[in-house]
Amino acid sequence: MKIIVLTAAIIASLARVPDAAAQAKLNVITTTEDLASIAREVGGDRITVDSLAKGYQDPHFVEAKPSFILKLQKADVLIVVGRELEVGWLPPLIQQSRNAKIQSGADGYLDASTQARILDIPQGQITRAMGDVHPSGNPHYWLDPENGKVVARTIAAKLAQSRPNDKAYFDQRLADFIARVAEGEKRWLAALAPYRGVKVVTYHRSYPNFADRFGLDVVGYVEPRPGIPPSPGHTLDLIQEMKRQQIKVILIEPYFDQKTPNSIATQTGASVVVLPPSVGGEKTITDYIKLFDYDINLLVTALKAAGAKPGGTD
Ligand SMILES: [Zn+2]
């Protein structure tokens, strides 16, 4: 009799499994691997996640593939970086997917930037002469871990809206992720503390949030204006300025040509550091926390080797 009761209990418990699984996993598509990583942290095994762009690609200019449309057709939720980062390639794909759920403004469309701290919001009128300026501010905001926490909260709220029964699960994973980011932040800030205020040059304006959080002073760019390739005149000015301010490090994104940065480095004695701005920018950068572990370690090693000094010694 006992055995029969037990068996019945097992059958009952087994019977609940297909019930729970009857609700298919929420299919989340993100534009970048950073957002995919954060969504995975929050969504756990209740969602599937895939990113359109790879972390080693320039997120402003992603070559659209037919597979992107297929992915978008099946998406329940689409998460975008926003702030016009994807404006050059994503809108036609969303349209061609004919998926009503993920059209801009629909329930399945999430702009991850809405609650984030956004820098470089231009004042006054924007003209073409200013280059590829983003009117709604700098879209590279995910490179501040504080914004990573905010994005995770934004994503958790959206997932809970789509799957109210899983809200507690998402909330618990969110809290765990936020705690691990906070731990990481202590580690990263401590590693860079000896170099606080150090002056650097970057290729594109990809790192303002990163610089702001970790105490770097970005004094110039290899690009004369955002999105505009290097020009000889600007490069000469930059070399003069770097010599004057004794800049030791040039940070560059993996997807830009290193020719100009290398020539600037040769003439100034600075070193070029390829600093991946995204998850997937390097094989070992498999998640959002590893992105900072990798970048901070690389940066500290480079600053140490270059004999860089903290700020305030101009
Ligand atoms: Zn940009």
Q: Alpha carbon of 141 to those of 52, 164, 180, 208, 278: distances in Å?
A: 19, 29, 19, 8, 11
Q: What are phi and psi of 61, to 5 degrees?
A: -130, 80
The pLDDT tens digits for 113-162 are 999 999 988 877 777 777 666 778 999 999 999 999 999 999 999 999 99
- Using the mean position of ligand 1's atoms as its centre, give its distance from the Cα of residue 116 in Å: 16
**Which residue did the predictor score with more confidence, 51 or 10?**
51
- Using the mean position of ligand 1's atoms as its centre, give its distance from the Cα of residue 86 in Å: 10
Token pair 């998460």 is at which residue?
79
Q: How many CB atoms lie within 10 A of CB 244?
A: 10
- Using the mean position of ligand 1's atoms as its centre, give its distance from the Cα of residue 237 in Å: 22
- Using the mean position of ligand 1's atoms as its centre, give its distance from the Cα of residue 170 in Å: 31
- Using the mean position of ligand 1's atoms as its centre, give its distance from the Cα of residue 223 in Å: 11
Pairing of strands 109-111, 77-80: parallel
Residue 314 pLDDT: 46
> How far is residue 59 CA from its own chain's centroid?
10
Q: Are 201 and 270 in contact (CB under 8 A)?
A: yes
The pLDDT tens digits for 64-115 are 999 999 999 999 999 999 999 999 999 999 999 999 999 999 999 999 999 9
- Using the mean position of ligand 1's atoms as its centre, give its distance from the Cα of residue 180 in Å: 28
- Using the mean position of ligand 1's atoms as its centre, give its distance from the Cα of residue 16 in Å: 49
- Using the mean position of ligand 1's atoms as its centre, give its distance from the Cα of residue 2 in Å: 67
